[in-house]
Structure 1
Amino acid sequence: MLYRLPGALVRAIIVALLVITPYVLLDGRGSESTPIVALAAVFAALLTIVEYSASSPSVVEFRDAPPFNRVRFAALFSTILCLSVIFRGQEVPNGLSDFFVLSGSQIGKAIDFPLSPARMMLDLLPADTSPAEREMIRSAAGLAYLLVSFSVIWFVVLLRLYRWPRRSDAFNVWVNLPTFDPTSGGDVIRRLRWDGRFNVLLGLATPYLVPGLIYLVGVFGTPINLGSSQTLIWTIATWAFLPANLLMRGIAISRIAYMIELQRRRAQGDRGAGIRRYV
């Protein structure tokens, strides 16, 4: 535990920085959200310390299989940071925010068509949203999708180039998949393949599910205040990042299933060779 603690502390600081980034860049100091942001940052930091300092994690998957979690975190952090810069540009215009808006504008227009996930998200905005704000939010959504799409492509490239997780290093399946119960029944390979395919399909459907879920929360519960810049940043980031996260998780689990199958075949081949040797 002491060996892992320094790394866990560094990760906790970075995670806390992720949580407070929109709050700091949008100058939310003194607002009613201050206690909520502080509590969320402390909770995220403590969870990170517990997960990364323990010998066996309880929630975080692929802890000992870099750079999977690093790619996911980099995608989320870059999305939150860029969206925060874009929304800060409404109050303090600058060249960087204009660059991000222009970068996401074309993609935002491309994904904004009838019955598309982007159109469903834009329809959730308050009725008094101005056309300029609507255009800016569409550009932010386009930039978010550009960043998370690049993260998925980058992970696939790393998987091919470095044969993730590296076969030269020890890989403990049960430590890296703490939520997977191998004793719940059925063949492990078949269950991992099903889990991987389910995550990929769910990732493809999530862009449609998130707007629907937000709408249902507004109808049957407390409506989400999409008029708040900080809330809007986290909503767009979640809407864009969650599908990419599920896709990467599905690809990773399918890869683990493939590795276990190869190891099983190799073991069966060695056993067969040993039997033939003594026959």
Structure 2
Amino acid sequence: MTISSTLPGAVLRAMWVVALVALPSILLPDQSKDGAQIVALVAIFAAAFTLVEYSVASPSFIEFRSAPPFNRLRFVALFTTVLALSLIMRGNEAPSTLTQVLQLTGERIGESLDFAFSPVRLIMLMMPADTSPATLHMIRISAGLAYLVSLLSIAIFGLLLRFHHWPRRSGAFNVWVNMPMFDPTGGGDVVKRLHRDSQSNLILGFLLPFVFPAIGKLVSILVTPITVDDPQTLIWMVSAWAFLPASLLMRGIALSRVAQLIHRQRKREYARAAAEGLLPV
């Protein structure tokens, strides 16, 4: 696969990344000039990174690049979350039927998930005591909707594993290309290492929605109170709170799947060698 053959797809992905970064600034009115410049700088950096990673023969950081739709599903989940939260925030200044529907949906979901020790309750408790009820209400709505999107993305990925046999459906799985940060020659059995990394990601992904508010509360007490008066701050904070755990859980599931594929391949090769009398006696 040459750079010229992958360049159009890389450019298209970079454009989508720019759209994601700029989405809150486009939909929300009355943004400051300094904020717009920061958004433009982040968008340029993210686009350049995506362009390089998807245009070269072998990426340096992005995993599962040649095993769609893993990264596409994660991007769609993040894009959907940011879009939905941006529309909810836009509804405070320029209400429409769509924003009202999203606000009502998020309110229902947020209320159903707002119980003792739930992630939604914890992220609300992270806020300072003087946070206005209106801000807490928006946090509950945003957190409920973002959490729903993250759960749906995990469920869809599970269905892809079950019915579409990911990653085999996308062709031969190349460990060097799809897992650039993983060194198969780093020592120890590859399958055991993959299972260990998978379990670490699954545990961290499960705990992160609970650990994130605790860390935020410590920062508020020891450093400076966390404020979300700026709608964009609220959008990206809640999006990260919902997306990062889902992404880690999906990565853990994917690593476990790769470990299973390698283990099955080993068994087939061992059986073939035994049938051909190639194993030592």
Residue matched to 1:260:
262
1:130: Cα distance to partner? 3.1
1:150 maps to which of 138, 149, 152:
152
Q: What SS class does the counterpart of residue 114 from structure 1 fall into?
A: coil
Q: What SS class does the counterpart of residue 76 from structure 1 fall into?
A: helix
Q: What SS class does the counterpart of residue 141 from structure 1 fall into?
A: helix
Contact 1:65 1:171 in 2 (8 A): yes
- Structure 1 segment 197-276 matched on structure 2, within 5 A: 197-221=199-223, 223-275=225-277
How many angstroms apart in 2 are the aligned matches of 1:168 and 1:19? 29
Q: What SS class does the counterpart of residue 168 from structure 2 fall into?
A: coil
Residue matched to 2:73:
71
1:101: Cα distance to partner? 1.4
Residue matched to 1:109:
111
Contact 2:127 2:217 in 1 (8 A): no
Residue 233 of structure 2 aligns with an amino acid whose one-letter code is T
- Structure 1 segment 133-212 matched on structure 2, within 5 A: 133-166=135-168, 169-212=171-214
- Structure 1 segment 15-164 matched on structure 2, within 5 A: 15-164=17-166
The verdict on how the C-alpha distance between 1:173 and 1:28 changes in structure 2, with shifts beyond 3 A counting, is farther
The verdict on how the C-alpha distance between 1:139 and 1:168 changes in structure 2, with shifts beyond 3 A counting, is closer
* Paired residue total: 279
How many angstroms apart in 2 are the aligned matches of 1:167 and 1:30? 47
1:131: Cα distance to partner? 2.4
Give unmatched runs, 5+ long, in structure 2: none
Report % sequence identity.
51
Provide, for residues 30-83 of structure 1, a one-character-per-residue CA deviation record: whole Å limited to 9, x for no partner. 432122111100000000001000101011000000000010000000000000
How many angstroms apart in 1 are the aligned matches of 2:213 and 2:256? 28
> More deviation in 134-143 or 193-202?
134-143
How many angstroms apart in 2 are the aligned matches of 1:186 and 1:55? 28
Q: What SS class does the counterpart of residue 66 from structure 2 fall into?
A: coil
The verdict on how the C-alpha distance between 1:227 and 1:268 changes in structure 2, with shifts beyond 3 A counting, is same
Q: What SS class does the counterpart of residue 275 from structure 1 fall into?
A: coil
The verdict on how the C-alpha distance between 1:93 and 1:167 changes in structure 2, with shifts beyond 3 A counting, is closer
How many angstroms apart in 1 are the aligned matches of 2:47 and 2:170? 32
Give unmatched runs, 5+ long, in structure 1: none
Contact 1:113 1:119 in 2 (8 A): yes
How many angstroms apart in 1 are the aligned matches of 2:223 and 2:14? 33
Contact 1:107 1:143 in 2 (8 A): yes
Residue matched to 2:14:
12
> More deviation in 44-53 or 116-125?
116-125
Contact 1:125 1:227 in 2 (8 A): no
Q: What SS class does the counterpart of residue 5 from structure 2 fall into?
A: coil
The verdict on how the C-alpha distance between 1:154 and 1:85 changes in structure 2, with shifts beyond 3 A counting, is same
Provide, for residues 236-263 of structure 1, a one-character-per-residue CA deviation record: whole Å limited to 9, x for no partner. 0000111110111011110000000000
Contact 2:68 2:170 in 1 (8 A): no
The verdict on how the C-alpha distance between 1:14 and 1:108 changes in structure 2, with shifts beyond 3 A counting, is same
Contact 2:128 2:220 in 1 (8 A): no
How many angstroms apart in 1 are the aligned matches of 2:45 and 2:115? 39
What is the aligned-residue RMSD (CA, Å)?
Answer: 1.9
Contact 1:28 1:34 in 2 (8 A): no
TM-score normalized by the length of structure 1 = 0.94
